[in-house]
Amino acid sequence: MKISPAKENILKKVRNALSQSVPLPFPNSEGNSSVFIKEHEGLEMKFAEEFARLQGKFIFCTGKNEVLDNLQALADSREWTDVHCQTPSLVKQLQQLSFLNKGDMHTADAAITDCECLVARTGTIVLSAAQPSGRALPVYTPVHIVIAYTHQLVFDLKDAISRLKDKYQGDLPSAISFASGPSRTADIEKTLVVGIHGPREVYVFLVDE
């Protein structure tokens, strides 16, 4: 096949460029350090502020008994009769709640799950398919309740990915999702609609250890 002089000239330049290594223009900016400055305040406060800004509802609990009391009060105020949970450790912890697992996720008023971690800078909940709740439960019911612990707080998304890599030893789950508040979209006539692709409300119960 005959190659045109112009094409041959371009290929020659590409070959020459590949044969000579070019130093990075800004080596210190290539992921070696964070571009975001950490706040002096605690990660709990930072997460609460950012999560609330995204229309999430944050409840800080000083212990597991306070989680039970707050969940019962929330269920009573909303008249929930069935809240679904598939996480064995949470089911054991919450088994005394009368409304827990009275049906399945298709009829539940709300869902309770754990999470992989919480990102303070963006108010984000990190979830994965490796959790007992799977992919469906966190987005299926109209209300999603996450029970997390203070040791699960990280500052930035980079820290969350690093923690997942360490936890799963490089064999990452088939799906990792980043939930920042309730599901919402403005695709239709630029009007913001909440709960169109997932839960209308998202709660985080953060337990102080």
Quick one: three-class SS letters along 159-192? HHHHHHHHHHCCCCCCCEEEECCCCEECCCCCCC
Residue 162 has pLDDT above 70, yes or no: yes
Q: Is 157 helix (H, G, I), strand (E, B) or coil?
A: helix
DSSP state string for 109-176: SEEEE--SEEETTTTEEEEETTSTTTTTHHHHSSEEEEEEEGGGEESSHHHHHHHHHHHHTT---S-E
Residue entry with tokens 């987005």 = 139
- State whether the Cα torsion 77-105-152-56 is positive or negative: negative
**pTM of the full structure:** 0.78
Average pLDDT over residues 128-149: 94
Residue entry with tokens 């064999």 = 171
Q: Taking the CB of residue 126, how many other CB atoms lie within 10 A of it? A: 21
Tens-digit pLDDT profile for residues 29-59: 555 555 555 554 699 999 999 999 999 999 9
* pLDDT band, residue 183 (cuts 50/70/90): low
**Is residue 17 situated within a structural domain?**
no
Q: Is 148 helix (H, G, I), strand (E, B) or coil?
A: strand
Task: Name every residue whose Cβ is closer than 8 Å to that of residue 79 and which is 6 or more positions away in sequence.
Answer: none
What whole-number distance in Å separates Cα of residue 113 and Cα of residue 139?
11
Residue 136 has pLDDT above 90, yes or no: yes
**Is residue 21 situated within a structural domain?**
no
**Is residue 107 situated within a structural domain?**
yes
Beta strand extents in 2-70 (DSSP E only): 57-61
Domain count for the chain: 1
Q: Is the Cβ–Cβ distance between 58 and 80 less than 8 Å?
A: no
> Shortest CA distance to 114 belongs to which of 96, 130, 102, 103?
130
> What is the predicted pLDDT for the residue at 124?
96
Q: Is the Cβ–Cβ distance between 68 and 94 less than 8 Å?
A: yes
> What is the predicted pLDDT for the residue at 6?
78
**Is residue 20 situated within a structural domain?**
no
**Is residue 156 situated within a structural domain?**
yes
**Is residue 139 situated within a structural domain?**
yes
**Is residue 68 situated within a structural domain?**
yes
**Is residue 19 situated within a structural domain?**
no
Domain region containing 154: 41-207
Q: Which CATH number is 185's domain given?
A: 3.40.50.10420
